[in-house]
Amino acid sequence: MQQLSAKTSHFTDSVIRRMTRVSMKYDAINLSQGFPDFDPPAAITDRLAEVAHKGPHQYAITWGAPNFRAALAAKQAPRMGIPIDPETQIVVTCGSTEAMMCSVMTVANPGDRVVVFSPFYENYGADAILCGAEPTYVELHAPEFTFDEAELEAACAKTNTKALILCNPSNPTGHVFSRAELDVIARLADKYDLWVITDEVYEHIVYAPHEHVYFASLPGMEQRTLSCSSLSKTYSMTGWRLGYVIAPAEVTDRLRKVHDFLTVGAAAPLMEAAVAGLELPQSYYDELTALYTHKRDLFCGGLRERGLTFTEPDGAYYVMVDISKFGYASDEEFAEELCRRVGVGGVPGSCFFNAPENRFIRFHFAKSDEVLIAALARLDNWELMAR
Protein backbone atom coordinates (compact mmCIF):
# COMPACT_ATOMS: atom_id res chain seq x y z
CA MET A 1 0.00 0.00 0.00
CA GLN A 2 1.10 3.59 -0.59
CA GLN A 3 2.00 5.64 2.52
CA LEU A 4 -0.58 8.05 3.87
CA SER A 5 0.36 11.75 3.77
CA ALA A 6 3.53 12.69 5.64
CA LYS A 7 2.16 15.97 6.93
CA THR A 8 -0.65 14.30 8.84
CA SER A 9 1.46 11.43 10.17
CA HIS A 10 2.27 13.20 13.47
CA PHE A 11 -1.31 14.15 14.21
CA THR A 12 -2.77 12.68 17.39
CA ASP A 13 -6.48 12.80 18.11
CA SER A 14 -7.57 15.98 19.90
CA VAL A 15 -6.65 15.62 23.59
CA ILE A 16 -9.58 17.85 24.54
CA ARG A 17 -12.13 15.69 22.79
CA ARG A 18 -10.40 12.52 24.05
CA MET A 19 -10.92 13.73 27.63
CA THR A 20 -14.66 13.94 26.95
CA ARG A 21 -14.58 10.22 26.10
CA VAL A 22 -12.48 9.45 29.22
CA SER A 23 -14.95 11.43 31.37
CA MET A 24 -17.80 9.35 29.96
CA LYS A 25 -15.91 6.12 30.63
CA TYR A 26 -15.59 6.94 34.37
CA ASP A 27 -18.90 8.77 34.66
CA ALA A 28 -16.95 11.89 35.64
CA ILE A 29 -18.36 15.44 35.55
CA ASN A 30 -16.88 16.66 32.30
CA LEU A 31 -15.14 20.03 32.70
CA SER A 32 -12.81 19.33 29.78
CA GLN A 33 -14.32 20.18 26.37
CA GLY A 34 -15.46 23.82 26.50
CA PHE A 35 -19.13 23.90 25.64
CA PRO A 36 -22.11 25.14 27.70
CA ASP A 37 -24.74 22.80 29.09
CA PHE A 38 -27.43 25.43 28.56
CA ASP A 39 -29.43 26.30 25.43
CA PRO A 40 -29.11 29.16 22.94
CA PRO A 41 -31.44 32.17 23.44
CA ALA A 42 -35.12 31.35 22.81
CA ALA A 43 -35.22 33.97 20.03
CA ILE A 44 -32.88 31.72 18.03
CA THR A 45 -34.47 28.35 18.81
CA ASP A 46 -38.00 29.72 18.18
CA ARG A 47 -36.84 31.01 14.82
CA LEU A 48 -35.26 27.63 14.06
CA ALA A 49 -38.65 25.96 14.58
CA GLU A 50 -40.19 28.30 11.98
CA VAL A 51 -37.32 27.83 9.58
CA ALA A 52 -37.73 24.04 9.81
CA HIS A 53 -41.05 24.43 7.98
CA LYS A 54 -40.38 27.46 5.82
CA GLY A 55 -36.76 26.90 4.81
CA PRO A 56 -34.30 27.72 3.40
CA HIS A 57 -33.09 24.15 3.03
CA GLN A 58 -30.82 24.42 -0.01
CA TYR A 59 -27.34 25.89 -0.44
CA ALA A 60 -26.97 29.52 0.50
CA ILE A 61 -24.50 31.77 -1.32
CA THR A 62 -21.18 30.14 -0.50
CA TRP A 63 -19.79 33.07 1.46
CA GLY A 64 -22.92 33.39 3.58
CA ALA A 65 -26.61 34.29 3.35
CA PRO A 66 -27.03 38.04 2.63
CA ASN A 67 -29.28 38.69 5.65
CA PHE A 68 -26.82 36.92 7.96
CA ARG A 69 -23.91 39.01 6.65
CA ALA A 70 -25.94 42.21 6.91
CA ALA A 71 -26.92 41.45 10.52
CA LEU A 72 -23.34 40.49 11.38
CA ALA A 73 -21.92 43.69 9.87
CA ALA A 74 -24.50 45.77 11.77
CA LYS A 75 -23.56 44.05 15.04
CA GLN A 76 -19.77 44.06 14.61
CA ALA A 77 -18.98 47.38 12.90
CA PRO A 78 -19.77 49.61 15.92
CA ARG A 79 -18.08 47.19 18.31
CA MET A 80 -14.96 46.78 16.18
CA GLY A 81 -14.88 50.47 15.34
CA ILE A 82 -14.35 49.85 11.62
CA PRO A 83 -16.70 50.01 8.66
CA ILE A 84 -17.64 46.50 7.45
CA ASP A 85 -19.16 46.04 4.02
CA PRO A 86 -21.31 42.89 4.23
CA GLU A 87 -21.05 42.46 0.44
CA THR A 88 -17.27 42.37 0.25
CA GLN A 89 -15.74 41.81 3.69
CA ILE A 90 -17.41 38.80 5.29
CA VAL A 91 -17.13 35.05 4.75
CA VAL A 92 -19.44 32.90 6.87
CA THR A 93 -17.75 29.61 7.76
CA CYS A 94 -18.37 26.35 9.63
CA GLY A 95 -17.26 27.72 12.98
CA SER A 96 -14.17 29.68 13.86
CA THR A 97 -12.37 26.39 13.28
CA GLU A 98 -12.92 26.67 9.53
CA ALA A 99 -12.45 30.44 9.65
CA MET A 100 -8.95 29.98 11.08
CA MET A 101 -8.01 27.18 8.67
CA CYS A 102 -9.26 29.19 5.69
CA SER A 103 -7.36 32.26 6.87
CA VAL A 104 -4.05 30.45 7.30
CA MET A 105 -4.54 28.79 3.88
CA THR A 106 -5.30 32.17 2.35
CA VAL A 107 -2.15 33.91 3.57
CA ALA A 108 0.53 31.22 3.95
CA ASN A 109 2.62 29.37 1.38
CA PRO A 110 4.41 26.10 2.15
CA GLY A 111 7.64 27.06 3.90
CA ASP A 112 6.26 30.26 5.42
CA ARG A 113 6.40 30.75 9.17
CA VAL A 114 3.44 31.61 11.35
CA VAL A 115 3.96 33.05 14.85
CA VAL A 116 1.83 31.29 17.48
CA PHE A 117 1.76 32.10 21.19
CA SER A 118 2.18 29.10 23.49
CA PRO A 119 0.14 27.84 25.28
CA PHE A 120 -2.29 27.84 22.39
CA TYR A 121 -5.62 26.39 21.30
CA GLU A 122 -4.59 23.08 19.82
CA ASN A 123 -5.97 23.64 16.30
CA TYR A 124 -3.44 26.36 15.41
CA GLY A 125 -0.47 24.01 15.09
CA ALA A 126 -2.53 21.76 12.82
CA ASP A 127 -3.76 24.74 10.77
CA ALA A 128 -0.17 25.72 10.03
CA ILE A 129 1.02 22.19 9.31
CA LEU A 130 -1.87 21.40 6.94
CA CYS A 131 -0.89 24.51 4.98
CA GLY A 132 2.75 23.40 4.88
CA ALA A 133 3.67 26.39 7.05
CA GLU A 134 5.91 26.20 10.08
CA PRO A 135 4.75 27.54 13.46
CA THR A 136 7.24 29.65 15.46
CA TYR A 137 6.13 29.49 19.07
CA VAL A 138 6.46 32.43 21.46
CA GLU A 139 6.02 31.67 25.13
CA LEU A 140 3.32 33.31 27.20
CA HIS A 141 4.92 33.36 30.62
CA ALA A 142 2.92 32.02 33.60
CA PRO A 143 1.25 33.02 35.86
CA GLU A 144 -0.03 36.11 33.95
CA PHE A 145 0.63 34.45 30.58
CA THR A 146 2.13 37.53 29.00
CA PHE A 147 4.79 37.67 26.29
CA ASP A 148 8.26 39.14 26.34
CA GLU A 149 8.59 41.83 23.67
CA ALA A 150 12.13 40.85 22.68
CA GLU A 151 11.13 37.18 22.29
CA LEU A 152 8.16 38.15 20.15
CA GLU A 153 10.29 40.41 17.98
CA ALA A 154 12.87 37.66 17.48
CA ALA A 155 10.09 35.34 16.25
CA CYS A 156 8.59 37.97 13.93
CA ALA A 157 12.02 38.78 12.52
CA LYS A 158 12.72 35.22 11.33
CA THR A 159 12.90 34.86 7.58
CA ASN A 160 9.71 33.85 5.77
CA THR A 161 7.49 34.91 8.67
CA LYS A 162 4.15 35.69 7.07
CA ALA A 163 1.55 35.87 9.79
CA LEU A 164 0.82 35.89 13.51
CA ILE A 165 -2.08 34.12 15.19
CA LEU A 166 -3.66 35.96 18.11
CA CYS A 167 -6.22 34.26 20.33
CA ASN A 168 -7.83 36.99 22.41
CA PRO A 169 -9.34 36.39 24.97
CA SER A 170 -7.04 33.42 25.18
CA ASN A 171 -7.91 29.77 25.49
CA PRO A 172 -6.49 28.07 27.59
CA THR A 173 -4.98 30.85 29.73
CA GLY A 174 -7.94 33.23 30.07
CA HIS A 175 -5.55 36.11 29.38
CA VAL A 176 -7.12 39.20 27.82
CA PHE A 177 -4.43 41.13 25.95
CA SER A 178 -4.20 44.71 27.14
CA ARG A 179 -4.16 47.66 24.79
CA ALA A 180 -0.43 48.08 25.53
CA GLU A 181 0.29 44.44 24.56
CA LEU A 182 -1.78 44.77 21.39
CA ASP A 183 0.11 47.95 20.50
CA VAL A 184 3.37 45.99 20.67
CA ILE A 185 1.96 43.29 18.37
CA ALA A 186 0.68 45.98 16.00
CA ARG A 187 4.08 47.68 15.89
CA LEU A 188 5.77 44.39 15.04
CA ALA A 189 3.12 43.39 12.49
CA ASP A 190 3.77 46.69 10.77
CA LYS A 191 7.56 46.51 11.02
CA TYR A 192 7.78 42.92 9.69
CA ASP A 193 4.81 43.20 7.32
CA LEU A 194 2.77 40.39 8.88
CA TRP A 195 -0.83 39.35 8.49
CA VAL A 196 -2.56 39.03 11.83
CA ILE A 197 -5.15 36.27 12.11
CA THR A 198 -7.25 36.72 15.22
CA ASP A 199 -9.43 34.18 16.97
CA GLU A 200 -11.90 36.20 19.04
CA VAL A 201 -14.55 33.60 19.87
CA TYR A 202 -14.63 34.79 23.51
CA GLU A 203 -15.05 38.48 22.58
CA HIS A 204 -18.20 38.74 24.73
CA ILE A 205 -16.88 36.79 27.73
CA VAL A 206 -14.56 39.30 29.39
CA TYR A 207 -14.52 40.13 33.10
CA ALA A 208 -14.34 43.67 34.49
CA PRO A 209 -12.11 45.62 34.65
CA HIS A 210 -10.71 43.95 31.53
CA GLU A 211 -12.04 44.98 28.14
CA HIS A 212 -11.87 43.33 24.76
CA VAL A 213 -10.00 45.40 22.19
CA TYR A 214 -10.50 44.14 18.63
CA PHE A 215 -7.10 43.95 16.97
CA ALA A 216 -8.54 45.27 13.69
CA SER A 217 -9.56 48.46 15.52
CA LEU A 218 -5.94 49.49 16.18
CA PRO A 219 -4.56 52.25 13.94
CA GLY A 220 -3.35 50.79 10.64
CA MET A 221 -4.29 47.21 11.53
CA GLU A 222 -7.62 46.94 9.70
CA GLN A 223 -5.78 46.32 6.43
CA ARG A 224 -3.63 43.47 7.75
CA THR A 225 -6.10 41.69 10.04
CA LEU A 226 -8.25 38.67 9.32
CA SER A 227 -10.71 38.73 12.23
CA CYS A 228 -12.11 35.26 12.93
CA SER A 229 -14.86 34.55 15.39
CA SER A 230 -18.02 32.55 15.77
CA LEU A 231 -21.46 32.28 17.28
CA SER A 232 -20.53 29.12 19.21
CA LYS A 233 -19.67 30.70 22.55
CA THR A 234 -21.60 33.98 22.34
CA TYR A 235 -24.96 32.28 21.81
CA SER A 236 -24.21 28.89 23.44
CA MET A 237 -24.57 27.06 20.12
CA THR A 238 -21.30 25.21 19.56
CA GLY A 239 -23.09 22.47 17.60
CA TRP A 240 -24.42 24.85 14.95
CA ARG A 241 -20.97 25.38 13.49
CA LEU A 242 -21.41 29.02 12.49
CA GLY A 243 -18.36 31.26 12.33
CA TYR A 244 -16.92 33.95 10.11
CA VAL A 245 -13.96 35.93 8.90
CA ILE A 246 -14.06 39.71 8.56
CA ALA A 247 -11.22 41.01 6.41
CA PRO A 248 -10.32 43.64 3.79
CA ALA A 249 -12.15 43.11 0.47
CA GLU A 250 -9.09 41.89 -1.48
CA VAL A 251 -8.38 39.28 1.21
CA THR A 252 -12.04 38.25 1.43
CA ASP A 253 -12.10 37.68 -2.32
CA ARG A 254 -9.44 34.97 -1.91
CA LEU A 255 -10.89 33.62 1.35
CA ARG A 256 -14.20 32.99 -0.39
CA LYS A 257 -12.57 30.70 -2.91
CA VAL A 258 -10.70 28.71 -0.27
CA HIS A 259 -13.89 28.39 1.77
CA ASP A 260 -15.92 27.34 -1.28
CA PHE A 261 -13.54 24.46 -2.02
CA LEU A 262 -13.33 23.42 1.63
CA THR A 263 -16.98 23.31 2.66
CA VAL A 264 -19.11 25.15 0.04
CA GLY A 265 -20.87 26.92 2.86
CA ALA A 266 -22.34 27.03 6.33
CA ALA A 267 -25.76 25.46 6.94
CA ALA A 268 -28.46 27.63 5.31
CA PRO A 269 -31.32 27.00 7.78
CA LEU A 270 -29.02 27.62 10.75
CA MET A 271 -27.76 30.90 9.30
CA GLU A 272 -31.36 31.98 8.81
CA ALA A 273 -32.31 31.17 12.41
CA ALA A 274 -29.13 32.67 13.87
CA VAL A 275 -29.95 36.11 12.44
CA ALA A 276 -32.36 36.40 15.40
CA GLY A 277 -29.32 36.12 17.68
CA LEU A 278 -27.24 38.68 15.80
CA GLU A 279 -30.13 41.12 16.18
CA LEU A 280 -30.39 40.79 19.97
CA PRO A 281 -29.94 44.06 21.90
CA GLN A 282 -26.85 45.00 23.94
CA SER A 283 -28.64 43.82 27.10
CA TYR A 284 -28.16 40.21 25.90
CA TYR A 285 -24.36 40.63 25.91
CA ASP A 286 -24.43 42.38 29.29
CA GLU A 287 -26.41 39.46 30.73
CA LEU A 288 -24.00 36.96 29.19
CA THR A 289 -21.06 38.73 30.84
CA ALA A 290 -22.92 38.82 34.17
CA LEU A 291 -23.75 35.10 33.87
CA TYR A 292 -20.14 34.09 33.24
CA THR A 293 -18.82 36.49 35.89
CA HIS A 294 -21.07 34.71 38.38
CA LYS A 295 -19.86 31.27 37.20
CA ARG A 296 -16.23 32.33 37.35
CA ASP A 297 -16.66 33.62 40.90
CA LEU A 298 -18.51 30.47 41.97
CA PHE A 299 -15.97 28.08 40.48
CA CYS A 300 -12.79 30.01 41.29
CA GLY A 301 -14.10 30.70 44.82
CA GLY A 302 -14.63 26.96 45.27
CA LEU A 303 -11.14 26.12 44.01
CA ARG A 304 -9.67 28.74 46.36
CA GLU A 305 -11.57 27.30 49.35
CA ARG A 306 -10.06 23.92 48.53
CA GLY A 307 -6.55 25.34 48.66
CA LEU A 308 -5.84 24.91 44.95
CA THR A 309 -3.47 27.17 43.06
CA PHE A 310 -4.82 28.40 39.73
CA THR A 311 -4.82 31.23 37.22
CA GLU A 312 -7.96 33.33 37.53
CA PRO A 313 -9.12 34.19 33.98
CA ASP A 314 -9.60 37.77 32.67
CA GLY A 315 -11.83 36.36 29.94
CA ALA A 316 -13.15 33.12 28.35
CA TYR A 317 -14.26 30.31 30.69
CA TYR A 318 -11.18 28.30 31.55
CA VAL A 319 -9.07 27.89 34.67
CA MET A 320 -5.55 26.51 34.67
CA VAL A 321 -5.01 24.66 37.96
CA ASP A 322 -1.41 24.07 39.04
CA ILE A 323 -0.99 20.36 39.85
CA SER A 324 2.75 20.36 40.53
CA LYS A 325 2.28 19.68 44.24
CA PHE A 326 0.78 16.26 43.44
CA GLY A 327 4.08 15.10 41.95
CA TYR A 328 2.85 13.36 38.78
CA ALA A 329 5.40 13.07 35.98
CA SER A 330 2.59 12.98 33.41
CA ASP A 331 -0.37 15.34 33.43
CA GLU A 332 -2.18 12.94 31.07
CA GLU A 333 -1.98 10.26 33.75
CA PHE A 334 -3.14 12.83 36.33
CA ALA A 335 -6.15 13.78 34.18
CA GLU A 336 -7.18 10.16 33.72
CA GLU A 337 -6.74 9.41 37.44
CA LEU A 338 -8.74 12.53 38.30
CA CYS A 339 -11.66 11.13 36.29
CA ARG A 340 -11.28 7.69 37.86
CA ARG A 341 -10.62 8.57 41.51
CA VAL A 342 -12.33 11.95 41.99
CA GLY A 343 -14.90 11.91 39.17
CA VAL A 344 -14.04 15.22 37.46
CA GLY A 345 -12.76 15.54 33.89
CA GLY A 346 -10.17 18.19 32.94
CA VAL A 347 -7.70 18.62 30.10
CA PRO A 348 -4.00 17.87 30.65
CA GLY A 349 -2.33 21.24 30.09
CA SER A 350 0.59 19.79 28.12
CA CYS A 351 -1.54 19.61 24.95
CA PHE A 352 -1.61 23.42 24.83
CA PHE A 353 2.17 23.96 25.04
CA ASN A 354 4.82 23.41 22.40
CA ALA A 355 7.51 22.86 25.07
CA PRO A 356 7.28 20.03 27.63
CA GLU A 357 4.98 21.22 30.44
CA ASN A 358 3.24 19.01 32.98
CA ARG A 359 2.10 21.55 35.52
CA PHE A 360 -1.51 22.28 34.64
CA ILE A 361 -4.99 20.84 34.31
CA ARG A 362 -7.52 23.00 32.49
CA PHE A 363 -11.12 23.06 33.68
CA HIS A 364 -13.96 25.01 32.11
CA PHE A 365 -16.92 26.48 33.95
CA ALA A 366 -19.54 26.91 31.19
CA LYS A 367 -21.88 24.69 33.17
CA SER A 368 -25.04 25.11 35.21
CA ASP A 369 -24.46 26.12 38.82
CA GLU A 370 -25.70 22.69 39.95
CA VAL A 371 -23.04 20.95 37.89
CA LEU A 372 -20.30 23.31 39.09
CA ILE A 373 -21.34 22.83 42.72
CA ALA A 374 -21.39 19.04 42.23
CA ALA A 375 -17.93 19.15 40.62
CA LEU A 376 -16.57 21.25 43.50
CA ALA A 377 -18.05 18.79 46.00
CA ARG A 378 -16.17 16.00 44.25
CA LEU A 379 -13.02 18.11 44.31
CA ASP A 380 -13.23 17.99 48.12
CA ASN A 381 -11.54 14.63 47.54
CA TRP A 382 -8.35 16.08 46.03
CA GLU A 383 -6.30 14.08 48.53
CA LEU A 384 -7.29 10.93 46.60
CA MET A 385 -4.86 12.19 43.98
CA ALA A 386 -1.86 11.79 46.28
CA ARG A 387 0.67 9.36 44.85
Ligand X SMILES: Cc1ncc(COP(=O)(O)O)c(C=O)c1O
Q: Residues interacting with ligand X, by CB under 6 A?
A: 34, 95-97, 121, 167, 171, 199, 201, 230, 232, 238, 243
| Nearest Cα residue to 321 out of 334, 329, 310 | 310
Q: How far is the CB of 34 from ligand X (least distance, A)?
A: 4
Closest distance to ligand X from the beta carbon of 96 (Å) = 3
Q: Which is nearer to ligand X, 165 or 342 (CB)?
A: 165
Q: How far is CA 370 from each of CA 27, 70, 81, 299, rounded to the nearest angstrom?
A: 16, 38, 39, 11
Q: What number of other Cβ atoms are within 10 A of residue 267's Cβ?
A: 19
Q: What's the closest the beta carbon of residue 129 comes to ligand X, in angstroms?
A: 17
Given a contact cutoff of 8 angstroms between Cβ atoms, the answer to whether 80 and 96 are in contact is no
Which CB, 316 or 372, lies closer to ligand X? Answer: 316
Neighbours of 329 (CB within 10 A): 8
Q: In terms of CB distance, is 32 or 350 closer to ligand X?
A: 32
Strand ranges in the chain using DSSP code E only, listed in sequence order:
29-30, 90-93, 113-118, 134-139, 161-167, 195-199, 225-230, 243-246, 309-311, 318-322, 344-345, 347-348, 360-364
Instruction: Quote the least distance from Cβ 221 to ligand X, whole Å.
Output: 20
Q: Which is nearer to ligand X, 20 or 45 (CB)?
A: 20
Q: State how far Cα 43 lies from the chain centre.
A: 24
Between 75 and 328, name the residue whose CB sits nearer to ligand X: 75
CB of residue 285 to ligand X, shortest distance in Å:
17
The CA distances from residue 105 to 93, 98, 170, 245, 251, in Å, are 14, 10, 22, 13, 11
**Minimum CB separation from ligand X for residue 358, in Å?**
22
Q: Which is nearer to ligand X, 89 or 232 (CB)?
A: 232
Closest residue to ligand X in the complex (CB): 95
